[in-house]
Amino acid sequence: MKDLLKIEQATIDDIDFIIEAIIEADRCNTDRISYCNIFNLSLVEFEDILRNILMEDITGFEFCLSIFLIAKVDGRNAGACSSWIEAIDNLPSYLMKYGVLAQYLKDVNIEHSKKIAPLIKGFHIEREKLALQIESVYVHQNFRGLGISSKIIQEHFKQKKIQYPNLEKSQLIVTSENDSAIYVYKKLGFTSIKKFKVENDKILSILPSNCLVLMEKSLK
């Protein structure tokens, strides 16, 4: 497998696979896609919005084409992962994300999100400014068990340290139930530094989890 595996910068030809990666990472082995539920979007509608945003290639948050690396095995897309430096231009990624999303949402979608807002209010872990953020880690089911996610993440570390020699740490956010991912991240040197749980189980009708874990790794 080693000779067949290549990790490449994502291109426009990879957009469909990146959309799959974003959605499957968000879904996290459940049938709940948070963006669809928050904004009352069908899967197809959300895919179309993601495609348009990825085509814009706006840096600084997770829906950006050029921040993705793609793992290919024998030329086939096997895994994906994105990374960016949080708030390097002083604007938090979550504000960028919802600002860009708002350009593609209809009034009815935004009104629906306002109804959902009280239930999910505060369910958010703040990302640390200037920390490397790892997001949308995904490996297609046909290629799991090959260590692909670790290899993509390590390639992000390598590239970003060349680009930003003073980069000190990396962070990622994972659901507490995702034991297999947490195991992989711990093997890469990440440790859990913060956990945030909402006790209201009604949130599980909207989001894939009611408990998030912030993990961190030193890159010094």
Residues contacting 140, CB < 8 A, separation 6+: 20, 77, 78, 79
pLDDT band at 135 (very low <50, low <70, confident <90, very high): very high
29-80: pLDDT as tens digits? 999 999 999 999 999 999 999 999 999 999 999 999 999 999 999 999 999 9
The neighbour count for residue 69, using CB atoms within 10 Å, is: 20
Complete domains list, the chain, with CATH = 5-166 (3.40.630.30)
pLDDT at 196: 93
- With bands split at pLDDT 50, 70 and 90, how would you rate the model's confidence at 114? very high
pLDDT over 70 at 109, yes or no: yes
**pLDDT of 121 higher than 90:** no
Which stretch of 41-55, 118-132, 150-164, 182-196 has the lowest confidence by average pLDDT?
A: 118-132
Tokens at 65, concatenated: 């084409």
Could you tell me which residue, 119 or 13, shows the higher pLDDT?
13
- Looking at residue 87, what is its pLDDT? 98
Q: Where does residue 1 rank: exposed (0-12), middle (13-18), buried (19+ CB within 10 A)?
A: exposed
Determine the pLDDT at residue 122.
82
Give the containing element (helix H, strand E) for 156.
helix 148-163
The predicted pLDDT at position 78 comes to 98
Q: Does the structure show a pLDDT above 70 at 3?
A: no
- Per residue in 167-217, pLDDT (tens digit) is 999 999 999 999 999 999 999 999 999 999 998 889 999 999 999 999 999
Q: Beta-carbon neighbour count of residue 217 at 10 Å?
A: 19
- Tell me the C-alpha distance between 34 and 52, whole Å: 19
